[in-house]
Chain A
């Protein structure tokens, strides 16, 4: 029973991180119809920036003065930096290509992926960076005879808050209405006097913020390592294939399905851990090619 509870918590932790990445990917596709192959690398960059800030001189000063709160306050810096990077990328690299066929989008974002991967190695080196001080000071809570890291519960909560916040933002605010209108008909939105260019840059920045936040929250639990972005991109695609590209609900449900199935695979069928996610994605593609929540 204890094992069951902890494995469920592990799944929720994994789902929270996956949701943050996949929701950004889906949001960007939903609004701009761009499949951003560099999305995983933006997640990784968020992890590196947060680890660098928390583990660096500023981090030591802040956690010296404010303790755990100081380090936790610094953690979202990764997300903010990635949002800023996004606000820079959209008008310079993506905007000239919207009218071109999809292949151009894939080419430019793939090129961006390669550049970001090299840039991270150049900036932060090949050695993994960690922000483990946060986890250490939060400790672990006993569940039955086992331990569960307190910080992982915080990540689950952040995932939940992000999901609710994003839903509220898109369905309950004026900006959300504009975003949805632009996503449904770009030309009509422009004709009605909306500044589509501004909507795009904001949407892209929000998508990037989500990716950066995913990286920022994961780094105290794991470490920022080279290649984590490509790994995350592949998983995020599995999530959106299952949930439906462009759908927020799809990203949430997809993330939950992927993480629960992966955990069950690890616990009961370790030999097929590699295959199990792709089997599910295949099944969904066969039955509902647009994904569970996707529109044709």
Chain B
């Protein structure tokens, strides 16, 4: 029997918070974990460098996300190396690989990096098409891996159901569609006719599925009036836009990202797509912040992959963010995105795990010891607390999204500091040990099934 309750009470149970920016006050002398100096290591530590393989999009449409990923990685490596390396001894050397080579070539490259370059650790990866292929290979090669993105639920649901060596730091993908649905249902609860434009691959499909299952729970009678499935890398959206407008939607939902999204919004503006319908995106502002012009429509839900936006948490409320943004800007003369945050904290999280393991076992800890420290780790990042769940090695942090707004302070459009939305991650993703697809249900993901089975249906 489904429980009936009204939307407001249900949103209250989800703990959705709409936050306003704090006025700037004097900075208290707080130093975040990433910047603290560590006690001297136990035992003797070899001085051989650590070799990291960082794979990300260096060319192609994905490079607009890949550049920030590599910049975050390099910034952390430089910082750690400037203090002598991990445990004060082992400096980080990075070799890069271009994810744009395609899934098969990426798998070969991971094998080459491990077998011939002898990497100690593998990081990066953006596409959800790639992590499910790379994950099993990383397990087979026993190479410690922290994926920055490629956050499909499928990785842990099916491809690597019992991970040992593989971890992932950005929020799980289903959270993205659900976050967008919660924000939309809270903001425009009367929107029933929904039009969709998503890239035709696993990310777009995942966003569509999870938006709809969550949104229908909160907005009874919601229906899909139009679907568009452009190929990833498309820059001509005129036909999709006309089709979308022709369906007279109340709300348009999109997960088109990167350079594709920049091309989409610029075309949509001239066709008047934003004039008569509301617009909600899971990932519009996930690109490098300066890629979004001031011509972008204001007041739309402009998601950041439910992970991180550089102005939040604001001011001095969360010094780790302020310090990270300042360091990143100083090094690269631009602002970070969620990839930068993920790649940067991947290294610091690894460093912390090695230090903890060293204190327990002395000397350079073996991989088993490092893994045991990563499992269940609760870690301070620029975006807030990050929890690495031991059962599936997935990073969880509170989901965030917001509304687009032009502010005088920046040359590009940003998220409205007075209207940031945060949702405790526990309330929008399946808990540990929830049945995976193929175990008693055949829904797209564990979270999809969990929402279907446990969320109440809001009364009409």
B30-78, CB < 8 A from A: 58-64, 66-67
Q: What does the 1/0 interface line of B255-270 toward A look like (CB < 8 Å)?
A: 0001110110011001
**Within the complex, which residue of A13, A140, A225 is in contact with B272, where a contact is CB–CB below 8 Å?**
A140
Residues B291 and A127 in contact, CB atoms below 8 Å apart: yes
Q: In the assembled complex, which residues on chain A have CB atoms less than 8 Å from the CB atom of B259?
A: 128, 223, 225-228
Are B270's CB and A222's CB within 8 A?
A: no
Contact A231 B234 (CB under 8 A): yes
Beyond A140-B270, A270-B228, is A222–B243 a contact (Cβ under 8 Å)?
A: no
- B288 contacts A127, CB within 8 Å? yes
**Majority SS of interface residues in chain A?**
helix
Let me know if B162 is at the binding interface, CB within 8 A. no
A50 beta carbon closer than 8 Å to chain B:
no
Interface set, chain B 64-104, CB cutoff 8 A to A: 64, 66-67, 100
Q: Are B239 and A127 in contact (CB under 8 A)?
A: no
Report how far A11 CA is from B234 CA in the complex, Å.
15
B411 to chain A, nearest CB (A): 12
B63 touches A121 (CB 8 A): yes
Interface residues of A in 1-55 (CB under 8 A from B): 3, 6-7, 10-11, 13-14, 17
- The residue in chain B whose Cβ has the minimal distance to the Cβ of A136 is B295
B229 engages A222 (CB within 8 Å): no
Which chain B residues (234-256) contact chain A, with CB distance < 8 Å? 234-236, 238-240, 242-243, 245-246
Whole-angstrom CA separation of A126 from B289 in the bound complex: 12
Q: Are B266 and A126 in contact (CB under 8 A)?
A: no
Given A146-B245, A147-B271, CB of A130 within 8 Å of CB of B230:
no
Please state if B62 and A227 are interface contacts (CB–CB under 8 Å): yes
Residue of A11, A126, A127, A218 contacting most chain B CB atoms (<10 Å): A126
Which residue of A13, A135, A271 contacts B238 across the interface (Cβ within 8 Å)? Answer: A13
Across the two chains, which residue of chain B brings its CB closest to A120?
Answer: B59
Binary per-residue interface labels of chain A (240-273) against chain B in the complex, 1 for a CB within 8 Å, 0 otherwise:
0000000000000000000000110011001101
Contact indicator B59/A227 (Cβ below 8 Å): yes
Q: Is B426 an interface residue (CB 8 A)?
A: no
Contact string against B for A residues 136-151, beta-carbon threshold 8 Å, 1 for contact and 0 otherwise: 1000100000111101
Q: Closest Cβ of chain A: how far from B16's Cβ, in Å?
A: 31
Closest CB of chain B to A131's CB: distance in Å? 10
Contact of A274 with B by CB under 8 A: yes
Interface status of A132 (Cβ within 8 A of chain B): yes
Could you tell me if B60 and A147 are in contact, using CB atoms closer than 8 angstroms? Answer: no
Q: A231 and B233 in contact (CB under 8 A), knowing A146-B272, A147-B271?
A: yes
Q: Which of B59, B243, B263, B271 contacts A148 (CB 8 A)?
A: B271
A7 and B245 CA atoms in complex are apart in Å by 11
User: A10-B239, A126-B67, A227-B62 are known contacts. Are A270 and B229 too (CB-CB below 8 A)?
Assistant: yes
Q: A126-B288, A128-B262, A227-B259 are in contact. Are A222 and B267 (CB under 8 A)?
A: yes
Closest residue of chain B to A130 (Cβ to Cβ) is B266
Number of B residues with CB within 8 Å of any CB on chain A:
43
With both beta carbons as reference points, the residue of chain A lying nearest to B271 in the complex is identified as A147
Q: Which B residues touch A227, using CB under 8 A?
A: 59-63, 100, 233, 259
Is A118 at the interface (CB under 8 A from chain B)? Answer: yes
Interface members, chain A 98-153 (any B CB < 8 Å): 117-118, 121, 126-128, 130, 132, 135-136, 140, 146-149, 151-152
Whether A7 pairs with B239 at a CB distance below 8 angstroms is yes
Q: Does chain A have a CB within 8 A of B367?
A: no
Q: Is the CB of A223 within 8 A of B262?
A: yes
Contacts of A230 in B (CB 8 A): 60, 233
CA distance A146 to B161 in the complex (A): 49
**A171→B119 CA distance, assembly (Å):** 61
A132, B295: Cβ atoms closer than 8 Å: yes
Q: Whole-angstrom distance between the alpha carbons of A14 and B236 in the complex?
A: 8
Chain B residues with CB under 8 A of A13: 236, 238
For B59, give the chain A residue with the smallest CB separation.
A117
Interface status of A94 (Cβ within 8 A of chain B): no
* Residue in B closest to A118 when the chains form the complex, CB atoms: B59
Check A128 against B291 for contact (C-beta < 8 Å): yes
Q: Would B262 and A271 count as touching, CB distance under 8 A?
A: no
Q: How far is the CA of A226 from the CA of B63 in the complex (A)?
A: 7
Contacts of A266 in B (CB 8 A): 228, 230, 239-240, 243
Q: Is the CB of A10 within 8 A of B235?
A: no
User: Does A225 contact B260, Cβ atoms closer than 8 Å?
Assistant: yes
Most buried by B among A11, A151, A227: A227
Q: Which residue of A lies closest to B67 (CB)?
A: A126
Cβ-closest chain A residue relative to B61: A227
Structural contact, A14 and B60, CB atoms closer than 8 A: no
For A7, A17, A127, which residue has the most chain B Cβ atoms within 10 angstroms?
A127
Which one of B60, B234, B263 lies within 8 Å of A223 (CB-CB)? B263
Closest 3 CB pairs of A and B: A225-B259, A227-B61, A227-B60
Can you list 24 residue pairs at the A/B interface with Cβ under 8 Å? A13-B238, A126-B64, A132-B293, A135-B266, A147-B271, A223-B259, A223-B266, A225-B258, A225-B259, A225-B260, A225-B263, A226-B60, A226-B61, A227-B62, A230-B60, A231-B234, A231-B235, A262-B239, A266-B240, A267-B243, A271-B229, A273-B200, A273-B229, A273-B231
